[in-house]
Every structure is written in structure tokens, then in C-alpha cells.
């Protein structure tokens, strides 16, 4: 909720292009700099608690190494995400390095949304079904405890409208291991009012918030490059391409 480009380092040239885009109000020049990943289709569904299901291995690993600012994050904070889709659900698995103390609830309640989950350790996906209407998107969060949060967002240029009553029916699973945490979510397409077809491209971003205090880190797949950490920059979303294999 906090208010890189894979394979392309954030260079001075990139910053210059971004500045030009922001000043001009046009996003077309940014297309070549936005990350894209393929989301592989699976023929049948599985329970989200099956974190070692072999189908996860068939998904492309999206490695996130940078903070929202474009600076490199320490190896102990980096993560990777794997995305799958079926005819009924979106699946996302986060594998995160964990070299510091966890910032989590002492008494997690998985029966309901976790209030202000973004203030603790969390991984997130933002996703917009309509590329042309990218300011309308969904936010799904999962913590190392399995706690979750789902929101429906309309990010206007000067105002954010959040549907706090939105309920997606998302399912989560998580496990904490030595120097690593694994978290996964499963979200029904019906809760987003749209379902992709092979070849469709949706837009969104992948994030992680980790640590506490002044050293707290905010990682992003597609950098938002704001002065202070802010994940809500839909104009800089990356692209999710849905494929059959």
C-alpha cells in the first residue's frame, strides 16, 4: 500500500527519459523501459497451500533486486515472484531472502483482512485488467504469517480512491524457513470482473516491504522513482503477458 527494470539497469539515460516523460505528460516513450513477464497457463487448479507443487517450477522467475528508487537492495532483502494462471484463478508465489528479524504480528488472524498490513513485512502485487484504464487496479498483499489484504483502487492524478469493503475471496499460504520466507496467493478472476485470454497483456507491479524504522526497505519490480517510497504509480506499471506455455 506504500503511498528497475529487470534486465535494464536504472542509468542516467533512463532517468533522463523518465524526466522527459513526466514533463511532457506522455507515457509512450516509457514503453521500452517497462518490464514484462510471461504468465504461464495451467490446465487444472491446485490448493494454494501446496507451495512445493511442481507447477510453480514451470513459471518464469521474476527477480526483484531493486528498491523503488532504482537503487540495488541488499541480497538479504531481494525476492523473486512466479505467476501462473488458470481459467479460474491468478496464482502468485513470492520467494524472499530474509537476513533480518521478521516484522510480523504476534497474533495473526487469518480469518479476516489484516489492518494496515503494509506497515509490516509483506509482498504485494498490483494488477489492472484493462491496460487502457490502468488507473483502476487491484492490490493483493500477503505476509510471512499468511495474513492478507485485498483492495480495489482508483488512483487519480491527484487523489486515491480506495474501496475498503472490496472482498476478493483470495487464499494465502506462507512458510518461514532459515534465511527465507515463502508466500503465495490465489485470487479468483471473478473478483476482478475480468479474465485474461492467451495473448492478453495486463499491467501491474510486484513489491516487497521489509524491515523497520529508518532502514525499512521498499522493493519494486518496476521502479516508481518517487522522492519518498510510493508504490501507487500505475503510469509506471510493468506488463503481464498471459501465455499458454
What CATH number corresponds to the domain at position 148?
Answer: 2.60.40.1190
Look at residue 32 in the predicted model and tell me its pLDDT: 58
pLDDT of residue 245: 81
Is 143 contained in some domain? yes
Question: Has residue 6 been placed in a domain?
Answer: no
This prediction's pTM: 0.88
Q: Is residue 4 part of a domain?
A: no
Instruction: Work out how many domains the chain is built from and give that number.
Output: 1
> Residue 80 forms beta bridges with which residues?
63, 95
Of 139, 171, 144, 178, the C-alpha closest to 49 is 171
pLDDT in tens, 115-151: 999 999 999 999 999 999 999 999 999 999 999 999 9
Give the pLDDT of residue 5.
29
Position 160 in a domain:
yes
Closest CA relative to residue 149, chosen from 193, 189, 112: 112
Grid cell, residue 122, equals 509483506
Pairing relationship of beta strands 122-128 and 201-210 according to DSSP bridges = antiparallel
| Within-domain flag for 182 | yes
> What is the per-residue pLDDT for 34?
86
Neighbours of 121 (CB within 10 A): 26
Exposure pattern of 128-155 as b/e (b: 16+ CB <10 Å)? bbeeeebbebbbbbbbbbbbbbbbbbeb
| pLDDT value, residue 170 | 98
Show the cell assigned to 234. Answer: 500505475
Which residues in the chain show pLDDT less than 70?
Answer: 1-32
Could you tell me if residue 1 is inside a domain? no
Residue 5 falls inside a structural domain: no
Note down the domain range covering 37. Answer: 12-243
| 36 part of a folded domain | yes
Amino acid at each position: 500500500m506504500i503511498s528497475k527494470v529487470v534486465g535494464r539497469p536504472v542509468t542516467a539515460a533512463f532517468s533522463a527519459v523518465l524526466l522527459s516523460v513526466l514533463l511532457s505528460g506522455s507515457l509512450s516513450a516509457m514503453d521500452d523501459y517497462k518490464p514484462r513477464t510471461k504468465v504461464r497457463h495451467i490446465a487444472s487448479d491446485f490448493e494454494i497451500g501446496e507451495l512445493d507443487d511442481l507447477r510453480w517450477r514451470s513459471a518464469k522467475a521474476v527477480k526483484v533486486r531493486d528498491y523503488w528508487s532504482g537503487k540495488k537492495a541488499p541480497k538479504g532483502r531481494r525476492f523473486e515472484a512466479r505467476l501462473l494462471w488458470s481459467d479460474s484463478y491468478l496464482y502468485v508465489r513470492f520467494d524472499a531472502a530474509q537476513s533480518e528479524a521478521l516484522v510480523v504480528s504476534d497474533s495473526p488472524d487469518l480469518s479476516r483482512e489484516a489492518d494496515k498490513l503494509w506497515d509490516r513485512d509483506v509482498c504485494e502485487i498490483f494488477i489492472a485488467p484493462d491496460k487502457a484504464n490502468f488507473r483502476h487496479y487491484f492490490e493483493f498483499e500477503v505476509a510471512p504469517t499468511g495474513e492478507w489484504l485485498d483492495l480495489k483502487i482508483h488512483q487519480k492524478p491527484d487523489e486515491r480512491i480506495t474501496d475498503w469493503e472490496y472482498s476478493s475471496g483470495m487464499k494465502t499460504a506462507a512458510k518461514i524457513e532459515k534465511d527465507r520466507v515463502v508466500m503465495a496467493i490465489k485470487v479468483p478472476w471473478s473478483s476482478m470482473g475480468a479474465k485474461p485470454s492467451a495473448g492478453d497483456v495486463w499491467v501491474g507491479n510486484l513489491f516487497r516491504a521489509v524491515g523497520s524504522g529508518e532502514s525499512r526497505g521498499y522493493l519494486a519490480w518496476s521502479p516508481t522513482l518517487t522522492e519518498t517510497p510510493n508504490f501507487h504509480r500505475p503510469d509506471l506499471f510493468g506488463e503481464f503477458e498471459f501465455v499458454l506455455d
